[in-house]
């Protein structure tokens, strides 16, 4: 079978558009901070080019290689996640000790863990398929491992990534066809956990409620969402046009990262948003199609897990930006600024492309 060209070029198109939008949204801040308006776009551009090669190479690596090395990969991820917590090795950026500094760039082990965990869990689930009626034997061991990694990531802390990983792996368990009642129970546990977190630190409640009415605390927890709405709202149907965003002029903080979608909607309006979301859905549809068509269970789980991870992150980011869920600090795959995130996303597509060839 041939490589899925729609998926491949769709990804390239989306990432290229992301690159353009990173320039548009970041040049004001880049000029201000580094006296170089191209600072961010050049950095991202380099990762993008590397990403294309990585995607092509990965699409040629037989996915069974990961199945064989899954334990090793998981161990590697675990070690990196522990190391990054150690001051001196891990670097703090934006309040999270989640980076390894490598010159001007950085690598986030939590990003790598996304792939590692999906590989490991896919292998585990496909191998123990016969056990799936017995929840205790089938779900609980893997759940324990997931919680361990989640805990490590929360120590950084990086709630957004932790959330994406947990949700994606639960979705992965869900599609194996296991008993649905376990998810209801998990939901209850999660709810209790949230209530517990709020009781411990009541300020979190404010963080959660502020998204319902951001104007209740316009300079504090509601600030980002208000600035985001100020970008989306005035954009209207067609937007202000490329480069004409106003919110990027020091109103929306770091507009090239989590809230880049606001700038897109400010400059290209509803029409732009419609096209971008359609492109995301198209990519997701192609991935799911591959997942449905493959008859190897590991490949099915792996491709689904990776594509769900990408689309869940996308949904989470968009829902934050438009004010449906509280701010979680998640970037928009392929578009937001962030080298390791882009590399990981493109690697994921590369793996899916390889599965699609079979």
Partner 1 sequence: MFQSIQNGRIKMVFIIVVLLFFLIVFRVFYIQVIEYEKLNNLASSLWSRNLPVQADRGRILDRNGKVIAGNETTSSLVVIPNQIKNKEEVAKNISEILNADYEEILRHVSKSVSIERIHPEGRNLSYEIAEKINNLGYDGVYLLKETKRYYKYNDVLAHVIGYVGIDNQGLSGLELMYNDYLTGDDGSIKYYSDGKGNKLEMPEIYVSPRSGLDVNLTIDLDLQLVLESELNNAVSKYEAEGAIGIVMNPKTGEILAMSSRPTFEPGNYQNYSVETINRNLAIWKSFEPGSTFKILTLSAAINEGLVNVFDEHFYDSGSIKIAGATLHCWKHQGHGDQTFVQVVENSCNPGFVELGNRLGKEKLFEYIDRLGFGKKTGIDLNGEASGIIFNLDKVGPVEQATTSFGQGVSVTAIQQVAAVGGIVNGGNMYTPYIVSSISEPDTGITIEEFQPKLKSEGVVSKETSELVKYVLESVVANGSGHNAYIEGYRIGGKTGTAQKVGPDGRYMVGNYILSFIGFMPADDPELVIYIAIDGAHGVTQYGGTVSAPIASNVLKSAINLYDIKSDPEGIPKQYEWYETKYFTVPDVINMSKADALKQLAGFTIEYSGNGETVVETSPKAGERIKEGGVVKLMLN
CB of 251 to partner 1, least distance (A): 4
DSSP E strands, the chain:
90-93, 96-102, 105-107
67/300 with CB nearer partner 1 = 300
Q: Which is nearer to partner 1, 1 or 180 (CB)?
A: 180
Specify the residue, 101 or 233, whose C-beta has the smaller distance to partner 1.
Answer: 233
Compute and round to an integer the Cα radius of gyration of the chain.
20
Whichever of 81 and 287 has its CB closer to partner 1, that residue is 287
- The CA-CA-CA angle for residues 141, 144, 149, to 5°, reads 130
Minimum CB–partner distance for residue 87 and partner 1 (Å): 34
Residue nearer to partner 1 on the CB measure, 112 or 327: 327
- Closest to partner 1 by CB, 54 vs 172, is 172
Q: Residue 243: name the closest of 6, 22, 84 by CA.
A: 22
**Tokens at 279, concatenated:** 């492109």
| CA 336 to mean position of chain CA atoms | 10
Hey, what are 212's tokens? 């319902």
> What is the secondary structure of 100-129 as a DSSP string?
EEETTEEE-HHHHHHHHHHHHHHHHHHHTG
Interface residues toward partner 1, by CB under 8 A:
28, 171, 174-177, 229-237, 246-247, 249-251, 265, 269-270, 273-274, 277, 280-281, 284-285, 288, 291-292, 295, 297, 300-301, 304, 308, 311, 315, 318-319, 322-324
Q: Which is nearer to partner 1, 33 or 60 (CB)?
A: 33
Would you tell me how many other CB atoms lie within 10 Å of the CB of residue 104?
A: 9
Distance of closest approach, residue 334 Cβ to partner 1, in angstroms: 16
Q: Which residues of 267-292 are buried (b: 16+ CB within 10 A; e: fewer)?
A: bbbeebbeebeebbeebbebbbbbbe
Rounded-to-integer distance, Cα 256 and Cα 331, Å: 10
């Amino acid at each position: 079978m041939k490589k899925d060209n729609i998926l491949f070029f769709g990804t390239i198109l989306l990432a290229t558009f992301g690159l353009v939008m990173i320039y548009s949204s970041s040049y004001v801040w880049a000029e201000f901070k580094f006296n170089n308006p191209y600072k961010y776009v050049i950095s991202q551009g380099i990762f993008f080019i590397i990403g294309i090669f990585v995607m092509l190479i990965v699409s040629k690596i037989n996915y069974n290689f990961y199945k064989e090395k899954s334990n090793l990969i998981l161990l590697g991820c675990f070690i990196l996640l522990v190391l990054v917590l150690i001051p001196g090795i891990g670097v703090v950026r934006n309040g999270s000790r989640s980076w390894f500094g490598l010159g001007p760039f950085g690598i986030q082990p939590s990003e790598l863990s996304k792939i590692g965990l999906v590989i490991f869990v896919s292998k585990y689930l496909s191998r123990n398929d016969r056990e799936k009626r017995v929840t205790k034997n089938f779900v609980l061991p893997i759940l324990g491992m997931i919680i361990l990694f989640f805990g490590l990531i929360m120590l950084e802390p990086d709630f957004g990534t932790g959330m994406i990983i947990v949700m994606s792996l639960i979705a992965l368990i869900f599609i194996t066809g296991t008993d649905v009642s376990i998810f209801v129970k998990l939901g209850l546990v999660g709810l209790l956990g949230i209530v517990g977190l709020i009781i411990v630190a009541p300020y979190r409640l404010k963080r959660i409620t502020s998204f319902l009415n951001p104007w209740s605390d316009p300079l504090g927890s509601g600030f980002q969402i208000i600035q985001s709405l100020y970008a989306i709202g005035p954009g209207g149907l067609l937007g202000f046009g490329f480069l004409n965003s106003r919110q990027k002029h020091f109103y929306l903080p770091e507009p090239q990262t989590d809230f880049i979608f606001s700038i897109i909607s400010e400059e290209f309006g509803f029409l732009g948003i419609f096209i971008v979301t359609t492109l995301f859905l198209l990519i997701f549809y192609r991935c799911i199609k591959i997942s449905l068509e493959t008859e190897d269970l590991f490949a099915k789980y792996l491709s689904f897990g990776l594509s769900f991870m990408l689309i869940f992150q996308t949904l989470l980011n968009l829902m934050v930006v438009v004010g449906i869920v509280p701010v979680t600090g998640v970037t928009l795959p392929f578009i937001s600024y962030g080298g390791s995130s882009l590399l990981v996303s493109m690697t994921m597509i590369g793996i899916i492309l390889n599965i699609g060839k079979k």
